[in-house]
């Protein structure tokens, strides 16, 4: 058999060369279409449901959160496996589908059941779908640094807060528009926040409660609309501007009044960044 094949190749050199050329061209074409990944993701088609239940023990999370969700996810079309992990204040449910199933169809199907199941969950439980990615999909990491070398201790603390703000509100939204990027996870830095440090002695002095502090800040942080005033062919919009934008704005919030004298946040607490 081998002798006949060699003899045919020697007699039909032109045909053999054409065959080799076609094979090379096909190989080059296949190489350009072959997906190459530094960490090949061999994970099956799955959708993760993450439920946060602050303050609940693992037993309570299992009974009140995990079990109702698993009941809703039973009977999903093309589902092959259903598993879950329950921890303190956290439940992670993984729904596995048949290989080749469109991942967006799977997420839509799970989301429809999830909407029905939210009515059965305790108040305060937050349920979301996991990103369209697995641990093998993280292939790129970057850091944000300040140009000009290292700073002093106070400068480093400010940089860490500014870098985290820049990462969350500028860099992350831009990178999420890149094709093939499922999500951007932020690590490190200090999220910017305003702390209202209430003095218990001053709180007792004015006869106030922490609930009043919460409600005062919440009620004084927002813009509201008040309708329109029409004058001939023009309309003037009326609205109240009350959105807090600085530490001074928080300090000027009125909590209550005593004998006609307003009690401000600055009188009973220190506001710091």
Q: Cα separation of 254 and 262, whole Å?
A: 6
Q: Cα separation of 189 and 171, whole Å?
A: 14
pLDDT at 38: 66
Please check the confidence at residue 150 and state whether its pLDDT lies above 60.
no
Has this prediction a pTM greater than 0.85?
no
Average pLDDT, the chain: 86
Residue 134 tokens, joined: 């697995």
Q: Cα separation of 196 and 215, whole Å?
A: 13
Q: Cα separation of 171 and 163, whole Å?
A: 10
What pLDDT, in 10s, does the model give residues 186-241? 888 888 889 999 999 988 888 888 999 999 998 888 888 878 888 888 988 888 88
Compute the radius of gyration of the chain from its Cα atoms: 31
Q: Where are the alpha helices (DSSP H) in 167-246?
A: 172-175, 200-205, 210-219
What pLDDT, in 10s, does the model give residues 19-30? 889 999 999 998
Query: Cα 163 from chain centroid?
Result: 18
Residue 250 tokens, joined: 């928080």
DSSP state of 119: G
DSSP state of 260: T
């Amino acid at each position: 058999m081998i002798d006949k094949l060699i003899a045919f190749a020697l007699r039909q050199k032109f045909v053999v060369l054409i065959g080799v050329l076609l094979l090379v061209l096909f190989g080059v074409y296949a190489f350009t279409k072959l997906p190459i990944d530094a960490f090949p993701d061999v994970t099956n088609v799955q959708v993760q449901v993450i439920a946060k239940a602050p303050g609940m023990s693992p037993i309570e999370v299992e009974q009140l959160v995990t079990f109702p969700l698993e009941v809703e996810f039973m009977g999903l079309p093309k589902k092959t496996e259903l598993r879950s992990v329950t921890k303190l204040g956290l439940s992670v449910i993984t729904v596995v589908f048949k290989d080749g199933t469109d991942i967006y169809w799977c997420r839509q199907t799970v989301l429809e059941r999830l909407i029905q199941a939210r009515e059965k969950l305790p108040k305060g439980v937050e349920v979301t779908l996991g990103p369209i990615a697995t641990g093998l999909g993280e292939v790129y990491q970057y850091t944000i640094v300040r140009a000009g070398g290292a700073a002093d201790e106070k400068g480093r603390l400010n940089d860490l807060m500014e870098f985290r703000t820049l990462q969350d509100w500028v860099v992350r939204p831009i990178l999420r528009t890149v094709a093939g990027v499922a999500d951007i996870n932020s690590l490190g830095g200090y999220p910017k926040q305003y702390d209202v440090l209430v003095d218990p002695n001053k709180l007792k002095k004015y006869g106030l409660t922490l609930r009043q502090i919460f409600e005062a800040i919440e009620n004084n942080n927002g813009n509201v609309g008040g309708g329109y005033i029409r004058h001939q062919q023009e309309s003037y919009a009326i609205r109240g501007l009350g959105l807090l934008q600085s530490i001074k704005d928080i300090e000027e919030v009125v909590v209550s009044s005593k004998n006609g004298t307003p009690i401000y946040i600055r009188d009973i607490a220190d506001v710091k960044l």
